[in-house]
Structure formats: structure tokens, C-alpha cells
């Protein structure tokens, strides 16, 4: 999957919800870290939508069940064997080692190489659950994520309009530089960026299939986000 245009991902830990996502989503983000037996679920999957698999580390806000990084990436590597899997999420810090939580980047880089061999797109992701970094840091993060992965994803936490403006500006600049990026601001102050960021070049957005099972603060429900993005992208009359 090339993500050359905006792609809407329906997030879920239950692949049985896929039929409910078909009307609005382009891909399903399967939160393997939130599923009880994710590989069995992939084995049984016969849905129509392609999958973006995420096995989020605990040190980046997830609930991966594996006791170590090797096991977590082994699970992701196994997932890339399935034909339905079109993309895999890999934390940027796992690829670069820019974290006290990561002492060995070899598992992440090996997964990236394996995914590309299998024609699976790599989304290199960054999450800041506390704040929005300064503008220069936003561009650095996007540049690095886009170079380490096929798509660079940056999710920050916005506290005011200045934060959202900084994120949208960084999104525009990265896109103008030819990078494929996905951006969003978490929290109520940044909620509108999930609909607006595609206007500035963001290539990937997320919404829960079931609004009660949102995987990040400030998410719209799937139908609402799809409608907002479509309306903003509509040609002027």
C-alpha cells in the first residue's frame, strides 16, 4: 500500500468489526497489543479491507503482551506473512534507539527489512502524550520518521491553537519536501487536526470502529471523520 493519498484507518482490537468499517475506511488498523490472541485472529481473518498491524510497546502507550522486544517484534514479523497485512507500525524510537527503553535496535530494523521484502509498508511512528514539541523539533521528528519508514507518523498532544498550528505547518513543510507523513494532535484542543491535517498533506488518519473503544484521546468516530475529510476535500462550488 503506497499511502500516496489520504488513507483512513479504522482502529480495532477485534477483526470481527471489519464489516462495520467497510463503508468508510480504506484500511483496518489491527491493535494486536489489545487483542487476546492476535495471530489466531489474523489466521481467521477473511475481511475485505487490508490491515495495518500495530503491536504497541508499553513504553509508547501500548499494551504489548510479550515480555521483551524480541518477542514483540517476532509477533509483528509473523503478522507480515499474511496476505491481508499491507502495512506494519514500528515505533521510531525502536528503529533509532533514541530512548532509555530501547537498548537494541536490531529487532526493529530487521522487521523493517523483512516487511519491505514482503511488500509491506512500514509506518515509523512517534507519540508524545504530554505536549507538542517546538516547531524545529516537529520537523526533525517528521524528517527522521519519514526517512526511517515509508510513512512517518507523528501524534502529539495539543494544549492550545498554537500547538495545532505548529503541527499543521510542520505537516505542510514535510509534504512540500516530498516526505510521506501522517500527523494528528491528540486531546480536545487538537481534535480538529484529525480532519484538517489531510488538507496539509497528512496521508493517514485513524478512527475507532466503535467510538467507545477509542485508541487515542480526541478521536472522532469513523463515520464522522470520513465525512469531515470528504467535505474538506470537496472542490469549491
Q: Is 175 or 218 the better-scoring residue by pLDDT?
A: 175
Give the confidence band of 236 by pLDDT, cuts at 50, 70, 90: very low
Q: Is 72 annotated as a binding residue?
A: no
Q: How many CB atoms lie within 10 A of CB 14?
A: 15
Do the domain assignments include residue 154? yes
Helix (H, G, I), strand (E, B) or coil at 204: strand
Confidence (pLDDT) at 12: 95
Q: What is the pLDDT of residues 74-85, one digit of tens each?
A: 999 999 999 999
Do the domain assignments include residue 60? yes
Do the domain assignments include residue 1? no
Q: What is the pLDDT of residues 170-184, one digit of tens each?
A: 999 999 999 999 999
Do the domain assignments include residue 2? no
Give me the long-range contacts of 15-19 (CB less than 8 A, separation at least 24).
Answer: 15/41, 15/42, 15/44, 15/45, 15/47, 15/51, 17/209, 17/210, 18/45, 18/47, 18/48, 18/49, 18/209, 19/47
Q: Is 56 annotated as a binding residue?
A: yes
Q: Is 236 annotated as a binding residue?
A: no
- Catalytic positions, written as ranges: 127, 153
Confidence (pLDDT) at 219: 85
Q: Is 18 annotated as a binding residue?
A: no
Do 86 and 122 form a contact (C-beta atoms < 8 A)?
no
Backbone torsions φ then ψ of 12, nearest 5 degrees? -160, 155
Burial class (CB in 10 A: 0-12, 13-18, 19+), 106: exposed
Mean pLDDT of the chain: 94
Q: Using alpha carbons, list the distances in angstroms from residue 27 to 98, 101, 147, 229.
A: 30, 30, 23, 15
**Separation CA 19–CA 25 (nearest Å):** 10
Structural domains of the chain, count: 1
Q: What is the pLDDT of residues 43-66, one digit of tens each?
A: 999 999 999 999 999 999 999 999
CATH number assigned to the domain comprising residue 88: 3.20.20.70
Q: Is 29 annotated as a binding residue?
A: yes
Domain of residue 185 covers: 7-233
Do the domain assignments include residue 88? yes
Q: What is the pLDDT of residues 87-145, one digit of tens each?
A: 999 999 999 998 777 889 999 999 999 999 999 999 999 999 999 999 999 999 999 99
Q: Is 31 or 236 the better-scoring residue by pLDDT?
A: 31
Q: Could you give the angle at the alpha carbon of 7 between the alpha carbons of 193 and 161, nearest 5°?
A: 5
Residue 237 has pLDDT above 50, yes or no: no
Amino acid at each position: 500500500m503506497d499511502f500516496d493519498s489520504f488513507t483512513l484507518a479504522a482502529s480495532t482490537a477485534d477483526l470481527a468489526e471489519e464489516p462495520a468499517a467497510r463503508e468508510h475506511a480504506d484500511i483496518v488498523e489491527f491493535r494486536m497489543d489489545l487483542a487476546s490472541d492476535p495471530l489466531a485472529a489474523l489466521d481467521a481473518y477473511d475481511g475485505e479491507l487490508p490491515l495495518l498491524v500495530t503491536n504497541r510497546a508499553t513504553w509508547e502507550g501500548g499494551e504489548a503482551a510479550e515480555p521483551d522486544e524480541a518477542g514483540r517484534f517476532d509477533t509483528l514479523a509473523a503478522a507480515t506473512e499474511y496476505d491481508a497485512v499491507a502495512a506494519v507500525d514500528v515505533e521510531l524510537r525502536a528503529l533509532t534507539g533514541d530512548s532509555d527503553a530501547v537498548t537494541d535496535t536490531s529487532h526493529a530494523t530487521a522487521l523493517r527489512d523483512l516487511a519491505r521484502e514482503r511488500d509491506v509498508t512500514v509506518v515509523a511512528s512517534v507519540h508524545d502524550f504530554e505536549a507538542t514539541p517546538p516547531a524545529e523539533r516537529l520537523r526533525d521528528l517528521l524528517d527522521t520518521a519519514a526517512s526511517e519508514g515509508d510513512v512517518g507518523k507523528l501524534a502529539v498532544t495539543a494544549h492550545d491553537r498554537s500547538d495545532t498550528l505548529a503541527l499543521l505547518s510542520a505537516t505542510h513543510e514535510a509534504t512540500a519536501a516530498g516526505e510521506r507523513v501522517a500527523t494528528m494532535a491528540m486531546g480536545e484542543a487538537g481534535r480538529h487536526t484529525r480532519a484538517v491535517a489531510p488538507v496539509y498533506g497528512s496521508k493517514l488518519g485513524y478512527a475507532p470502529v466503535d467510538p467507545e473503544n477509542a485508541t487515542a484521546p480526541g478521536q472522532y468516530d469513523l463515520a464522522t471523520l470520513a465525512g469531515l475529510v470528504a467535505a474538506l476535500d470537496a472542490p469549491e462550488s
